[in-house]
A and B are shown apart, each in its own frame.
Chain A
Amino acid sequence: MTDNTNIYKPLRAKLTEVVEESPLIKTFVLIPEREFIFSTGQFIELSVDGVGEAPFTPSSSPLVTDKLEVTVMKTGYVTNIMHELKPGAVMGIRGPYGRGYPVKSFEGKEVLILGGGCGLAPIRSLLFTLEHMKDKLDKVILCYGSKSPTDCIYKPLFSRLNSIDKFEAYRTVDKAEDGWDGPVGVATSLLDKIKVKIENSVAVVCGPPIMMKFGTIRILEMGYRDDQIYLSMEKNMSCGLGKCGHCMMGEFFVCKDGPVFTYKEIKHNPEIWK
């Protein structure tokens, strides 16, 4: 946790490894100066001294408290500088913030996860958690889409998941490249091939806003109720404390009330897909 004396003071963390996931995405392996505890789905503010900070949901297992992995897509000033960092650099961590996935309530159920692009980062953390509690779950199905095979992150994850009892993982690409012999199509097209017992299932959707929108509609069409669907919202979280208002979405502060919401909670919010 952040130092109690100053809620804005980050915890120092040493960058020990940088994994290049795709041309625009890297995973940073960090060793915090002391134990860092978070729940899957909660987010942190990751900072570079003198540059700035940005919100990310850790992609590592919440069961590992002495090491943290954060997957960062190069999208702007702060993330461009993060991508230049080398092992040995020191970064800052604030948090964890917000409400993660209510994994305890997933017990005894099938979990359908629909992900796209960099949305696989929070999902990876969730998958580690679900793997740990797999004896209490019926089934876990991951459907993931990326723009191209090159843009797919955590490539070894898929074969590993498919080797775990009760886990099924599928991936597709919008556009094939040479050497790709898997499915072509958007992430939602994978939903046609899976078999789930909807009445005893929950669905998790995480990815770019456009995928979240089309994915949620398709999942509702499959027969899921709006309280069975969990959305991980990314809304420019900044302070993490519900004070600055950057992440306001109607009546909610995404940083404090989210980032994980049920579709039921936010479906009438006009800013849901913006």
Chain B
Amino acid sequence: MKVEIEDLEKIKFFEKFTEQQLETIASISSVREFAVKEIIFEQYDELKDIFVLLQGSMSLGISLPKDKRIHLGTIEEGQLFSWSAIFPPFISTAWVMAITPAKVIAIDARKLNAEIEKDCDFGFKTMSKIAQTISHRLSDTRFQLMNQLNL
């Protein structure tokens, strides 16, 4: 399904992008839908797309030995996930599963990397947003760790 510029304009992640840059993103993206409990990707899967959640919510977690799955956080509308898709070795650090019917924008990571190399301004905006996402995850994980340790 084709991505409309209007869809991208509503998302906080893209708020500083120009119309032309949004057109670039739309041209390398598609809309995908997932059913409840559908796995978007498993931990250690090779990733080809970076996702932004349009509708619904998703669970993000890690797998432990003996098929134990730990739910670490919820991905809400407008949030980015699967950032590992643009950094070598392109292997996911977590699994993601739909917990409601969900609609996502899937951006082709290889093409996105090519656009980042081509256009510095586009690259800076994209990388700033991805860095912010990773920074929030790290900060939340530290906070969660301290809570669990009762520090």
Contacts and interface: CB of A to CB of B under 8 A. Distances in A.
Contacts, number: 56
Interface string B111-151: 00000000000000000000000001001101110111001
Given A183-B57, A184-B59, A172 B147 contact: no
Given A172-B74, A192-B79, A181 B99 contact: yes
Contacts of A228: none
A189 B78 CA distance: 13
A184 B73 contact: yes
B35 interface: no
A121 interface: no
Given A181-B99, A210-B146, A210-B151, A188 B140 contact: yes
B63 to A, nearest CB: 16
B76 interface: yes
Nearest to B144: A186
B71 interface: yes
Given A193-B77, A210-B147, 9 more contacts: A174-B147, A182-B74, A183-B57, A183-B74, A184-B71, A192-B79, A193-B76, A195-B12, A218-B139
A241 interface: no
B72 interface: yes
Contacts of A193: 76-79
Interface in A170-211: 172, 174, 176, 181-186, 188-189, 192-193, 195, 210-211
Contacts of A218: 136, 139
A153 B101 CA distance: 30
The dominant DSSP class at the B interface is: mixed
A73 to B, nearest CB: 13
Contacts of B77: 193
Query: What is the size category of the interface that chain B forms with chain A?
Result: 20 to 34
15 contacts: A147-B147, A172-B74, A174-B144, A181-B99, A183-B57, A183-B73, A184-B71, A184-B74, A185-B73, A186-B140, A186-B144, A188-B140, A192-B76, A195-B12, A214-B142
Interface of A: 147, 172, 174, 176, 181-186, 188-189, 192-193, 195, 210-211, 214, 217-218
Contact of B143 (A176, A192, A210): A210
A117 B57 CA distance: 24
Interface of B: 12, 57, 59, 71-74, 76-79, 99, 136, 139-140, 142-144, 146-148, 151
B22 to A, nearest CB: 19
A176 B57 CA distance: 15
Nearest to B132: A221
Contact of B148 (A174, A183, A217): A174
Contacts of A214: 139-140, 142-143
Contacts of A174: 144, 147-148
A184 B76 CA distance: 10
Nearest to B141: A186
A185 B72 contact: yes
Contacts of A188: 136, 139-140, 143
A120 to B, nearest CB: 15
Contacts of A181: 99
A189 B73 contact: yes
